[in-house]
């Protein structure tokens, strides 16, 4: 039995499809379907049971569920716009700590989602060593909630029994339910295909021209392959960056989208909301030397290859 939290979400449902493709169906999905279209991510997938996240921990801790062979904890509030610190602490930190403590106590391999948001303004670099992780200063409550769990894991000594993955800018199929947290490509696809320009934020830093802010964009199919590597190598532990190791500009992303559509590029630079300006990451690039040193040799798709593949899904809003 495998427990997959966030299994109806973006990355979780794609990883569920990966497990199914390997003939693995003995899976308990833990999630909160709410009123979004997230439920569609489960259509056609095979799993043993679905348990709401607010009931799962009690059942697990009170031995009303079989001890799983593996826990993949991808469930969390991933919105960088949520400002309710108490909610983020309960949902992202306390829930993860209880689940992690149970897994360590029962010697169950534990993989969980951290985030590149923990790196804040990047002044500490993007080195995923334990020493650097402990000194990071996130810019928003979401990043802080993820950083707190990373810190607890390291200080408690349990990092040797877990794998933490600092996801960078993941995009791709199955993100259709994420509302304002969808990737720019997904959110603006229909408008752009209909002839409208792609809207990108202006730069408020003299170091970057409009559209030249850079992010480490990683396609969800690549992210899933890395998770699967750790799933099949339970002897490996630690906290790792999960990005391509290559920062690309938002203008590059726009060019890739218009090229995939066979259209002439058209970009409009818009004002960034004031509440985001002092929390905006102008540059992110995963240092993946630690990922490579642990034996993961997956070759990431280029931005252009990823966007072209994604457009084939966006045309009909199909799912993985």
2-171+216-247+283-301 CATH fold: Rossmann fold (3.40.50)
pLDDT tens-place string over residues 12-24: 999 999 999 999 9
Q: What confidence tier does 246 reach under pLDDT thresholds 50, 70, 90?
A: very high
pLDDT score for 253: 98
pLDDT score for 83: 75
Q: What does 190-241 look like in DSSP terms, one character per residue?
A: HHHHTTPPEEEEPP-STTS-TT--EE-EEEHHHHHHHHHHHHT-TT--EEEE
pLDDT score for 275: 82
Note if 112 is an active site residue: no
- Residue 6 reports pLDDT greater than 90: yes
| Mean pLDDT taken over the chain | 96
Q: How far apart are CA 134 and CA 153, in angstroms?
A: 10
| Cβ-contact 287, 245 below 8 angstroms | yes
Candidates 53, 166, 178, 221; catalytic one: 178
pTM score of the predicted model:
0.96
SS3 of 256, please?
A: helix
pLDDT score for 279: 82
Note if 178 is an active site residue: yes
Cβ density class 239-269: b for 16+ within 10 Å, e for less: bbbbbbbebbbbbbbbbbbbebbeeeeebeb
- In this structure, what token pair is assigned to residue 146? 């993820």
pLDDT tens-place string over residues 35-94: 788 999 999 999 999 999 999 999 999 999 999 999 999 999 877 777 788 999 999 999
Q: How far apart are CA 274 and CA 261, in angstroms?
A: 32
Candidates 93, 95, 142, 219; catalytic one: 142
pLDDT score for 287: 98
């Amino acid at each position: 039995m495998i427990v997959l939290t966030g299994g109806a979400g973006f990355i979780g449902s794609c990883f569920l499809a990966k497990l199914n493709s390997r003939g693995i169906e003995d899976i308990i999905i833990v999630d909160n379907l709410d009123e979004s279209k997230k439920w569609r991510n489960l259509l056609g997938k095979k799993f043993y049971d679905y348990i709401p996240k607010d009931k799962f921990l009690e059942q697990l801790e009170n031995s009303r569920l079989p001890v799983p062979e593996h826990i993949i904890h991808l469930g969390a509030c991933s919105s960088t716009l949520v400002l309710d610190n108490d909610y983020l602490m309960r949902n992202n930190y306390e829930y993860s700590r209880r689940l992690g403590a149970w897994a360590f106590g029962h010697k169950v391999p534990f993989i969980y989602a951290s985030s590149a948001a923990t790196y804040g303004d990047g002044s500490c670099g993007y080195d995923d060593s334990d020493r650097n992780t402990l000194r990071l200063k996130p810019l928003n409550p979401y990043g802080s909630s993820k950083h707190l769990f990373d810190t607890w894991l390291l200080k408690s000594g349990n990092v040797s029994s877990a794998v933490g993955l600092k996801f960078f800018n993941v995009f791709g199929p199955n993100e259709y339910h994420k509302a304002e947290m969808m990737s720019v490509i997904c959110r603006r696809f229909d408008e752009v295909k209909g002839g409208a320009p792609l809207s990108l934020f202006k730069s408020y830093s003299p170091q970057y021209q409009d559209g030249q802010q850079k992010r480490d964009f990683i396609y969800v199919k690549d992210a899933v392959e890395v998770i699967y590597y750790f799933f099949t190598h339970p002897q490996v532990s630690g906290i790792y960056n999960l990005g391509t190791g290559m920062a690309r500009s938002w203008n590059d992303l726009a060019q890739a989208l218009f090229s995939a559509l066979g259209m002439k590029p058209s970009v409009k630079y818009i004002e960034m909301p004031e509440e985001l300006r002092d929390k905006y990451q102008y540059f992110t690039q995963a240092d993946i030397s630690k990922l490579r040193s642990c034996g993961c040799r997956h070759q990431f798709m280029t931005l252009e290859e990823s966007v072209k593949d994604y457009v084939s899904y966006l045309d009909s809003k199909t799912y993985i």
